């Protein structure tokens, strides 16, 4: 099943961060769906949401972002979803770890809206167009 | 009256301050800060003003006529070329998909490429090219990238190869970040392998060039806009003289070689316009590969 | 055990410039403060525990906290909850940068945001402190290290 080209799933336990990212992805033409942790995000996917991309914080209660990435990448029906970490974790080893777990991209906080737009461009993720 | 900042902020420097700075930069580097660029002068000098303990940018500019050290710093800050990793992307794609294969076919005798990153600023262009070369040069081949700039402070930044977090978020896939960079304090530093490919040299484009090798590929992006028409033509003429007959010149996305068809011909490759040197009429010029130079 | 480095004032200033410039997209710079005119309106703190233990605190006046919130969330009117969320995120990001500077393995706590001045535990030692002015109001950011018991 093709991913829904119009949604971005924003996964972060900070309401402020979700709000910032929601505006950025909305400006890029997407519809934002929010989750406060990895488990809530999985619930969305299990309910049938197929976002084009997920932005994923690392440190969250209940289920962290790293675990969420591993779970998504090991589930065949979710393999088309692009996964982008957006986190304060900025050590070299952490980035390697996230990429090894299957994250496609990595943005370090603080970031500018242009940085997110840039990464979407690099990934070929565009609203209304299946990558 | 100083025009407002196009982004809506308020510009506080006086007309006299702007005129002084504009004349200073033009005298020292031939680069132009035309009316309309006041907000840029303010933005670029503010950190220096802060560091020097000046009350504001106007006060800081007031010191420049008598403080040589600050004047040098101010000129450096004002002649920075805004840059980023793999800027505009398309030129780098053309580099990888068209220019590099062409050069690999033509330079089998020396198996070495000479590349010039002119007006290199803090080195993101030079190191972007180094990353691509690392990925695409076959075994047994080498490449030298000459990174030049009029600012010695910028050249030191290229040598250090260190970039802030915010710069690292733009233009570069995360896989390349981890492959070519390590954390040093709050910054990211480029690997020694890439540094070995890049050599720096002080060079003012508007002045006669020091002795230079013959280049296979020249990146001269987004800097000609700072010069007047005559200087632009002069630079393009002198650059032509150091590019191999089968070499390439790349300008910024909105730049052209003007009316210089006697020196450069346009050749679209991929999604960008490249420029090929028109041979000089004064005898044959052999490429470096054949002279063994 | 990897080498641990303690953040310096110049590290802290670099981090703050980046956060204010990119995250708040603030054209107004953070300027050095000429006096200790701190009006303890809002404090936000985050602790770092692990190989290195410390606390990062951001203190501002109420008007600054509200303006930070307005800019971060791009809202005209903000509620106390909004301010708590925005200031919490701000100190989270600054704290995250400080944490990654120190090296080693450590984790960031959830942020705490309070009205007034957060009194630090007696075993906390001030490492560096940035006293700044933004849009004419004081902003103070302090990094403290906590002695290992």
Q: Do B177 and A106 touch (CB under 8 A)?
A: yes
Q: Is the pLDDT of residue C86 over 80?
A: yes
In a mutational test of the B interface, the residue from A56, A89, A90, A117 whose CB has the highest number of chain B CBs within 10 Å is A90
Residue B166 lies in a domain: yes
Whether omega before C74 lies within 30 degrees of 0, making that bond cis, reads no
The residues with which C100 forms a beta bridge, in sequence order, are: none
Asked if residue B105 and residue B72 are part of one domain, the reply reads no
Residue B219 lies in a domain: yes
Q: What single DSSP character describes residue B283?
A: S
CATH of the domain at B188: 3.40.50.150
Q: How far apart are CA A43 and CA A35, in angstroms?
A: 9
Which helix (H) or strand (E) is B198 found in, with range?
Answer: strand B198-202
> pLDDT confidence of B33, banded at 50, 70, 90?
confident
Which helix (H) or strand (E) is A60 found in, with range?
Answer: none
Asked if residue B72 and residue B181 are part of one domain, the reply reads no
Asked if residue B217 and residue B123 are part of one domain, the reply reads yes
Could you say which of B5, B7, B50 has the minimum Cβ distance to residue C32? B50
> Could you read off the pLDDT of C93-149 as tens digits, one per residue?
999 999 988 877 888 898 999 988 888 888 899 999 999 888 888 899 999 999 766
Residue B227 lies in a domain: yes
For B85, name the nearest residue in chain A, comparing CA atoms only.
A118
The residues with which C142 forms a beta bridge, in sequence order, are: C57, C129
User: Does residue B161 come out as left (phi exceeding 0), alpha (psi in the -120 to 50 range) or beta?
Assistant: left
Asked if residue B265 and residue B213 are part of one domain, the reply reads yes
Nearest Cα residue to B93 out of B276, B219, B247, B272: B272
Residue B244 lies in a domain: yes
Tell me how close the Cα of A20 comes to any Cα of chain C, in angstroms.
6
Asked if residue B231 and residue B202 are part of one domain, the reply reads yes
Residue B234 lies in a domain: yes
Residue B8 lies in a domain: no
Asked if residue B268 and residue B165 are part of one domain, the reply reads yes
Domain boundary residue, one of B38, B54, B78? B78
Nearest Cα residue to B17 out of B90, B98, B76, B78: B78
Higher local confidence (pLDDT), A52 or B167: A52
| C-beta of residue B12 within 8 angstroms of C-beta of residue B58 | yes
- The secondary structure of B107-150 as a DSSP string is -TTT-EEEEEEET-TTSHHHHHHHHHHHHHSPTT-EEEEEEEES
**Which domains, from first to last, does chain A contain?**
7-122 (3.40.50.2300)
What local confidence, expressed as pLDDT, does residue B41 receive?
86
Q: Which residues of chain B make contact with A96, given a CB cutoff of 8 A?
A: 178
> Could you read off the pLDDT of C4-14 as tens digits, one per residue?
788 888 889 88
**C95: contact with A, CB 8 A cutoff:** yes
Domain boundary residue, one of B51, B78, B105? B78
In a mutational test of the B interface, the residue from C27, C34, C133 whose CB has the highest number of chain B CBs within 10 Å is C27
- Pick the range with the lowest mean pLDDT from B67-71, B185-189, C12-16, C133-137: B67-71
Number of domains in chain B: 2
Q: Do B169 and A107 touch (CB under 8 A)?
A: yes
State the residue range of the domain holding B60. Answer: 15-78
User: Does residue B292 come out as left (phi exceeding 0), alpha (psi in the -120 to 50 range) or beta?
Assistant: left
What's the complex ipTM? Answer: 0.90
CATH of the domain at B66: 1.10.155.10
Asked if residue B226 and residue B136 are part of one domain, the reply reads yes
Q: Which residues of chain C make contact with B11, given a CB cutoff of 8 A?
A: none
Q: Do C18 and B46 touch (CB under 8 A)?
A: no
Q: What's the pTM value of the predicted model, to 2 decimals?
A: 0.81
Asked if residue B141 and residue B63 are part of one domain, the reply reads no
Residue for token pair 């990895």 = A38
Mean pLDDT of chain B: 87
Could you say which of C28, C32, C101 has the minimum Cβ distance to residue B186? C101
Q: How far apart are CA B95 and CA B115, in angstroms?
A: 11
Q: Is the pLDDT of residue B291 over 60?
A: no
Q: Is the pLDDT of residue B185 over 70?
A: yes
**What does the buried/exposed string (b/e) look like for B71-100 if buried means 16 or more CB atoms within 10 Å of the residue's CB?**
bebbbbbbbbbebbbbbebebbbbbbebbb
In a mutational test of the A interface, the residue from C15, C93, C98, C110 whose CB has the highest number of chain A CBs within 10 Å is C93
For A85, name the nearest residue in chain B, comparing CA atoms only.
B174
Q: Are strands C42-50 and C54-60 parallel, antiparallel or unpaired?
A: antiparallel
Q: How far apart are CA B232 and CA B234, in angstroms?
A: 5
Please list, in sequence order, all residues whose beta carbon lies within 8 angstroms of the beta carbon of residue B47, skipping any fewer than 6 positions away.
B77, C29
Structure tokens at B63: 């010191």
Q: Do B7 and C27 touch (CB under 8 A)?
A: yes
Asked if residue B167 and residue B128 are part of one domain, the reply reads yes
Q: Do A105 and B181 touch (CB under 8 A)?
A: no
Calculate mean pLDDT across residues A28-50.
Answer: 96
Residue B3 lies in a domain: no
Structure tokens at B64: 């420049």
Q: Which residues of chain B make contact with A99, given a CB cutoff of 8 A?
A: 174-175, 178
Tell me how close the Cα of B122 comes to any Cα of chain C, in angstroms.
17
> Could you read off the pLDDT of B143-157 as tens digits, one per residue?
999 999 998 889 999
Domain boundary residue, one of B43, B78, B113? B78
Please list, in sequence order, all residues whose beta carbon lies within 8 angstroms of the beta carbon of residue B135, skipping any fewer than 6 positions away.
none
| C-beta of residue A55 within 8 angstroms of C-beta of residue A12 | yes
Asked if residue B211 and residue B126 are part of one domain, the reply reads yes
Q: How far apart are CA A43 and CA A41, in angstroms?
A: 5
The Cβ of residue B252 has, within 10 Å, a number of other Cβ atoms equal to: 17
Asked if residue B140 and residue B56 are part of one domain, the reply reads no
> Could you read off the pLDDT of C9-34 as tens digits, one per residue?
888 988 898 888 887 877 777 877 76
Q: Do A108 and B181 touch (CB under 8 A)?
A: no
Q: What single DSSP character describes residue A78?
A: G
The sheet that has A53-56: what strands, in order across it?
A: A31-35, A7-11, A53-56, A82-87, A105-108
Residue for token pair 């951001």 = C58
Q: Where are the extended beta strands (E) located within chain A?
A: 7-11, 31-35, 53-56, 82-87, 105-108
Asked if residue B66 and residue B125 are part of one domain, the reply reads no
Residue for token pair 């233009």 = B171
Q: How far apart are CA B164 and CA B157, in angstroms?
A: 12
Higher local confidence (pLDDT), B55 or B242: B242
Q: Do A89 and C96 touch (CB under 8 A)?
A: yes
Q: What single DSSP character describes residue A30?
A: P
């Amino acid at each position: 099943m093709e991913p829904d080209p119009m949604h971005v799933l924003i996964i972060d336990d900070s309401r402020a961060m979700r709000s910032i990212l929601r505006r950025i992805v909305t400006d890029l033409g997407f519809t934002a769906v929010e989750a406060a942790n990895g488990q809530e995000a999985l619930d969305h996917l299990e309910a049938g949401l197929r976002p084009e991309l997920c932005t994923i914080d690392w440190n969250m209660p209940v289920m962290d972002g790293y675990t969420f990435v591993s779970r998504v990448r090991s589930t065949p029906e979710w393999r088309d979803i692009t996964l982008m970490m957006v986190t304060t974790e900025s050590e070299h080893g952490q980035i390697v770890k996230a990429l090894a777990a299957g994250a496609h991209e990595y943005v370090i906080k603080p970031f500018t809206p242009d940085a997110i737009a840039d990464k979407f461009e690099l990934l070929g993720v565009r609203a209304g167009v299946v990558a | 009256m100083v025009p407002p900042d196009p982004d809506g902020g308020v510009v506080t420097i006086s007309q006299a301050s702007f005129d002084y700075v504009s004349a200073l930069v033009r005298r020292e580097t031939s680069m132009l800060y035309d009316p309309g660029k006041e907000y840029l002068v303010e933005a670029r000098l503010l950190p220096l003003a802060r560091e020097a303990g000046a009350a504001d940018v106007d006060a800081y500019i007031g010191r420049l006529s008598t403080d040589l050290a600050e004047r040098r710093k101010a000129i450096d800050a004002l002649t920075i070329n805004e840059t980023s990793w793999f800027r505009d992307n398309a030129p780098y794609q053309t580099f990888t998909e068209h220019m590099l294969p062409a050069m690999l076919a033509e330079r089998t005798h020396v198996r070495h490429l000479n590349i010039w990153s002119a007006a290199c600023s803090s080195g993101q262009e030079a190191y972007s090219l180094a990353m691509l070369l690392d990925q695409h040069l076959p075994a047994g081949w080498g490449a030298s990238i000459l990174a030049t700039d009029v600012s010695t402070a910028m050249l030191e930044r290229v040598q250090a190869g260190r970039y802030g977090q915010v710069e690292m978020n733009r233009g570069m896939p995360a896989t390349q970040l981890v492959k070519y960079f390590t954390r040093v304090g709050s910054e990211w530093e480029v690997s020694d392998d890439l540094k070995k490919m890049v050599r720096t040299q002080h060079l003012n484009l508007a002045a006669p060039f020091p002795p230079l090798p013959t280049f296979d590929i020249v990146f001269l992006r987004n800097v000609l806009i700072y010069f007047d028409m005559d200087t632009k033509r002069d630079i393009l003429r002198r650059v032509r003289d150091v590019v191999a007959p089968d070499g390439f010149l790349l300008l910024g996305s909105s730049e052209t070689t003007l009316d210089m068809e006697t020196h450069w011909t346009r050749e679209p490759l991929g999604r960008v316009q490249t420029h090929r040197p028109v041979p000089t009429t004064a005898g044959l010029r052999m490429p470096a590969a054949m002279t063994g130079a | 055990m990897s080498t641990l480095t303690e953040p310096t004032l110049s590290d802290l200033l670099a981090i703050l410039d980046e956060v204010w410039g990119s995250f708040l997209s603030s054209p107004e710079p953070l300027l050095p403060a000429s006096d200790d005119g701190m009006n303890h309106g809002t404090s936000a703190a985050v602790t770092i525990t692990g190989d290195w233990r410390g606390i990062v605190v951001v203190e501002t006046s109420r008007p600054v906290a509200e303006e930070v919130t307005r800019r971060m969330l791009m809202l005209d009117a903000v509620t106390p909850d909004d301010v708590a969320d925005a200031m919490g995120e701000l100190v989270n990001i600054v704290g995250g940068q400080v944490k990654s500077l120190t090296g080693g393995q450590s984790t960031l706590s959830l942020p705490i945001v309070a009205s007034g001045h957060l009194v630090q535990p007696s075993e906390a030692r001030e490492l560096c402190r940035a006293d700044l002015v933004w849009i004419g109001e004081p902003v103070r950011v302090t990094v403290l290290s906590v002695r290992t018991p």
